[in-house]
Amino acid sequence: MLLKTLSVTALSAGLFLGAFSAVTGFSTDAEARTYTKSRYVNNDRCYRVKRIPQLVEVDTMGKLLRGSSRSWVGNAQRHGALVIDRYHDPVYIQTERVLEDQHVTLVPVSCR
């Protein structure tokens, strides 16, 4: 009977220790999932330099210098001569207008 009592006591003590260790084991698991640490963060930003040329609008018909015209070529007084009514194109001075001046722009890229 004494042996039976000791075994029941040992069994209950073993169950108690097992339950206690299981509870403390779960609590350490929960603590292990939440922790703090110190670290250095790289806040660098990297860019690629790109030169942009000047953007110019060229107007080939900027300023009218002379309008279109016609002229006679040949001798109309001579019998049988060839006479040509020639067309002359208008003459313009080309103009330029700067739409965007040359500059340097920074294009964001990843830092390697």
pLDDT of residue 2: 46
Q: Which amino acid is at 78?
A: R
CA distance 48 to 42: 18
pLDDT of residue 102: 97
* pTM reported for the whole predicted model: 0.47
pLDDT of residue 64: 97
β-sheet bridge partners, residue 95:
59
Q: Show Cβ contacts of residue 20 under 8 Å, excluding neighbours closer than 6 positions.
A: none
Q: Where are the domains of the chain?
A: 1-35, 46-109
The token pair at 100 is: 């965007």
Where do the DSSP E strands lie in 5-83? Answer: 46-52, 55-66, 69-73
pLDDT of residue 14: 58
Give the containing element (helix H, strand E) for 21. Answer: helix 2-33
pLDDT of residue 34: 82
For the chain, 112 residues long, the average pLDDT of each consecutive 10-residue run is: 52 56 51 81 93 97 96 91 96 97 96 84
Instruction: Please spell the DSSP secondary structure of 86-101, one letter per residue.
Output: EEE--EEEEEEEEEE-
Phi-psi category of residue 106: left, alpha or beta, with phi > 0 → left and psi -120 to 50 → alpha: beta
